[in-house]
Amino acid sequence: MSASETIPADSGTPEAGAIETMHAESFEDFELHSLLERGVREAGFTRPWPIQALTIPAALEGADVLGLAQTGTGKTAAFALPLLDQLLDEDAPGPRALVLAPTRELATQIDAEIRVLAKFTKLKTTLVFGGSSMHAQKAALRRRPEVIVACPGRLLDLMGQGAVRLDSVETLVLDEADHMFDMGFLPDIRRILAALPRDRQNLLFSATMPKEIRRLADEILSEPHVVELAKSAPAETIAHVLHPVPEARKKDLLRHLLDADDCTTAIVFTRTKVRAKRLALQLARTGRSAVALQGDMSQNARDRAMNDFRKNRVEILVATDIAARGIDVAGVSHVIN
């Protein structure tokens, strides 16, 4: 098994050796299709991030890839650019690439970034997830898009209704595989894998490698190019603080933290949907600008909540950890668990 970096023996990843690593100084070093290079410039990308520099060359060569990296490391472009580059090599009906993500929010972000990168091409992408019109998704799939970005549950529903076939898929991407396992999607993923051609490229990204994901990686990846950027240590740009507090004083402490001068926007995590809704209402009643994000909300309500938070119309987002997975919002000053 090849690797860009030697993976420590106790890291929980498949065995890996080391090969010479390409240190790309710019996206031009990848020699992408000219239409993709225009998309890269449109996206404002300049110098590749480490996950991109270490995975894109191998993926462009058609190798399977195992990337251990957290959200916010640039991994969407790491799999999207080689995927799109290969699609431009040949004109064939889709779907030719399938990207699976655990949450609607992450799928939406992946789809949006792929559309920016593919802006100057004729490649079509379709977004598939629950909570939105199945009729519209079926209509989009009838146009045979080259790329499908999907959550597993809705994709299986559409497959069961004969609305989509996956026998022409050339590249499979599993993003945040560990979160998909946490959310109980592993059986769904195995059903989807059974509908795919055996001869395909596989790109698997995960922040951690629980034994179930390691087993899945061993099953689907063939001599993968392995890159590990996931670290257990906090990011250097984040200050972590632990406040021991009795249960009865948690709300008082929360109010104190939110009142601080340096708290401009905050995400507050709760364990349950009920707590998220209740806490958002309680904060709103005290005059704070707060909104809840939890799994029982309709897609329109989720989109509205996220848009309001991103555009600073709402200062506090109260969310369950499952509902918030994959969310990438710049400029949040505080995250409170």
**What is the sign of the dihedral through the CA atoms of 81, 84, 88 and 90?**
positive
Q: Is the pLDDT of residue 18 over 60?
A: no
Asked if residue 95 has a cis previous peptide bond (ω within 30° of 0), the answer is: yes
Give the bridge partners for 325, in sequence order.
none
Side-chain-facing half-sphere of 283: CA atoms under 13 Å: 27
Q: Is the pTM of this model over 0.95?
A: no
**With bands split at pLDDT 50, 70 and 90, how would you rate the model's confidence at 10?**
very low
Q: What is the mean pLDDT of residues 2-7?
A: 35
pLDDT of residue 93: 85
Length of the chain: 337
Closest CA relative to residue 76, chosen from 38, 118, 123, 34: 118
For residue 5, pLDDT over 80 is answered with no
Nearest-angstrom CA–CA distance, 139 and 144: 10
∠ at Cα 45 (329, 88), nearest 5°? 110
**Range of 71-85, 193-207, 269-283 with top mean pLDDT:** 193-207
Q: Is the pLDDT of residue 20 over 50?
A: no
Q: In percent, how much of the chain has pLDDT > 90?
A: 48
> Where is pLDDT greater, at 270 or 190?
190
Which tokens in the block code for residue 58? 């191998």
Percentage with pLDDT > 70 across the chain? 88
307 DSSP assignment: H
